[in-house]
Amino acid sequence: MIWNPNKECMSRDEMSALQGKRLHKIVEYVYHNVPFYRNKLQEMDITPDDINTIDDIVKLPFTTKQDLRDNYPYGLQAAPQSEIIRVHASSGTTGNPTIVGYTRKDIGVWSECMTRCLTAYGITRDDTFSVAYGYGLFTGGLGAHYGVENLGAAVVPTSTGNTEKHVRLIRDLGITGIACTPSYALYLAETMDKMGITKDEIKLRAGAFGAEPWTENMRKEIESRLGLKGYNLYGLSEIMGPCVSYECSEQHGSHICEDHFYPEIINPQTLERLPNGETGELVFTTLTKEGMPLLRYRTKDLCSLMEGDDCPCGRTAVRMTRIVGRSDDMLIIRGINVFPSQVESVVLSMEEFAPRYLLIVDRVNNLDTLQVQVEVRPEYFTESFDSLAPIAALEKKLSDKLKSVLSISAKVQLKAPNTIERSQGKSKFVIDKRVLN
């Protein structure tokens, strides 16, 4: 089944014409409603009348996460606040999160695109579907939720946590579909094992997995342990949330909702546009968004694009490969985006610590763990560390601060001065022991 064949199966010429028309409109809209873009376009001597076809997009400036931070909180919002009906946020590199406001129309587009994804995964109105992404500022929970409702399946908003209860619900309600991070899917399988529940006792048949990188081997493991078919789901809050692209039954790349999100691949160093098939940084322009439209937003995700026309599923929309890496140092830990610079800013804000720290990321029983090692300054170390109590108090102070900035808990380990290894060349602040294979 295809949810919206009119849009998902357009000929290339029709799609390019629609994209060109929408691009002109969105450039006109931001020109008149977002001073940040008006100034940029004026500096480049471009007016909306210069943008008439989708190929004109190369004339437009890029937008970065830094631009969003510099204009925190609402500087890039185009719609008046009275039109905004939902606000989400995602982590910034330091300090300010990225705020995204959605109008009623945006929420409608989001739900429509999310429904396209679910339909491609084979979900129908007859399914009972558990949304186990976090509900809250993160876009995963509510984004998937609205898509399931729009489709007409029964949504069970399980969110994260309380995994044993979730397993019982999956069994007792005959839940057939699930959306969660791939690592949480493995954790669910592990919890089922511990509870003595086998995959024959549950009816799961399709999973919408995303929000973090995963591999074909993880797919095989999840599929065999939960007895379902696992599909990739990709998205990012700045552009919308989950729904930007989705796998079809062919599972050969993910079709992009390109009538709403126009993709490009660039060389992250030269910013030159790359042809299909070459790996580079993924860039999106929102073609219809009202709340916070973005021109050529640099996602920092690395992948390549391929045409969609030859996909046997019948969809023609362009496909993207899996994300193969990032062009910045962002980590995704338990589905939450974490920048090492956030940890650094917390460490530097406390006088007890030297600016020497190390993040150790690992995966234990399919759950990501984060340990932060940090060196105590000599004066604090000699004065107060003759008993264990001050150590514990200082550890707690740091871990509380980290939790409030990162939104995930980290295990803190205090180190004596000059004990964190110095590297000869570039300092290494992160050791990621998770092997994705």
- Closest by CA to 128, choosing from 157, 107, 100, is 157
Contacting residues for 404 by C-beta, under 8 A, at least 6 apart = none
Please identify, using beta-carbon distances, which residue of 207 and 235 lies nearer to ligand DLL.
Answer: 235
Rg (the chain; Cα; Å):
23
* Residue 210 within binding range of ligand DLL, rule CB under 6 A: yes
Number of residues binding to ligand DLL, judged by CB under 6 A: 22
Q: What is the dihedral of CA 375, 376, 379, 385, to 10 degrees?
A: -130
- Closest by CA to 101, choosing from 293, 262, 295, is 293
Amino acid at 332: I
C-alpha–C-alpha distance, residues 144 and 149, integer Å: 9
Please identify, using beta-carbon distances, which residue of 111 and 357 lies nearer to ligand DLL.
Answer: 111
C-alpha–C-alpha distance, residues 192 and 403, integer Å: 29
Among 61, 213, 227, 417, binds ligand DLL (CB under 6 A): 213
Please identify, using beta-carbon distances, which residue of 264 and 301 lies nearer to ligand DLL.
Answer: 301
Of 191-199, 210-218, 345-353, 365-373: span binding ligand DLL (CB under 6 A): 210-218
Of 51-59, 134-142, 348-356, 410-418: span binding ligand DLL (CB under 6 A): 134-142
Among 93, 237, 286, 407, binds ligand DLL (CB under 6 A): 237
- Closest by CA to 347, choosing from 432, 425, 429, is 429
Among 41, 109, 211, 318, binds ligand DLL (CB under 6 A): 211
* Residue 234 within binding range of ligand DLL, rule CB under 6 A: yes
* Residue 90 within binding range of ligand DLL, rule CB under 6 A: yes
* Residue 242 within binding range of ligand DLL, rule CB under 6 A: yes
> What are the tokens at 80?
């008046």
Of 15-23, 168-176, 208-216, 410-418: span binding ligand DLL (CB under 6 A): 208-216
Residue nearest to ligand DLL (CB): 210
Q: How far is CA 44 from the centre of its chain?
A: 31
* Residue 241 within binding range of ligand DLL, rule CB under 6 A: yes
* Residue 97 within binding range of ligand DLL, rule CB under 6 A: no
For 147-180, give one letter per residue: b (16+ CB within 10 A) or e.
bbebbebbbbebbbeebeebbebbbeeebbbbbb
* Residue 92 within binding range of ligand DLL, rule CB under 6 A: no
Among 156, 287, 323, 359, binds ligand DLL (CB under 6 A): 323
* Residue 233 within binding range of ligand DLL, rule CB under 6 A: yes
Please identify, using beta-carbon distances, which residue of 240 and 347 lies nearer to ligand DLL.
Answer: 240
Among 236, 283, 347, 370, binds ligand DLL (CB under 6 A): 236
Please identify, using beta-carbon distances, which residue of 306 and 350 lies nearer to ligand DLL.
Answer: 306
Site string for ligand DLL, 3-42 (x = CB under 6 A): ----------------------------------------
Of 132-140, 265-273, 348-356, 429-437: span binding ligand DLL (CB under 6 A): 132-140
Please identify, using beta-carbon distances, which residue of 140 and 177 lies nearer to ligand DLL.
Answer: 140
Q: Are the C-beta atoms of residues 385 and 359 closer than 8 Å to each other?
A: no
Sign of CA dihedral 55, 56, 59, 60: negative
> What are the tokens at 411?
């295990």
Contacting residues for 195 by C-beta, under 8 A, at least 6 apart = 164, 167
Among 97, 147, 230, 235, binds ligand DLL (CB under 6 A): 235
Rounded to a whole number of angstroms, the minimum distance from the CB of residue 212 to ligand DLL is: 6
Among 301, 352, 368, 375, binds ligand DLL (CB under 6 A): 301
Rounded to a whole number of angstroms, the minimum distance from the CB of residue 68 to ligand DLL is: 11
Please identify, using beta-carbon distances, which residue of 20 and 242 lies nearer to ligand DLL.
Answer: 242
| Chain residues in the site for ligand DLL (CB under 6 A) | 90, 133, 138-140, 210-213, 232-237, 241-242, 299, 301, 323, 332, 337
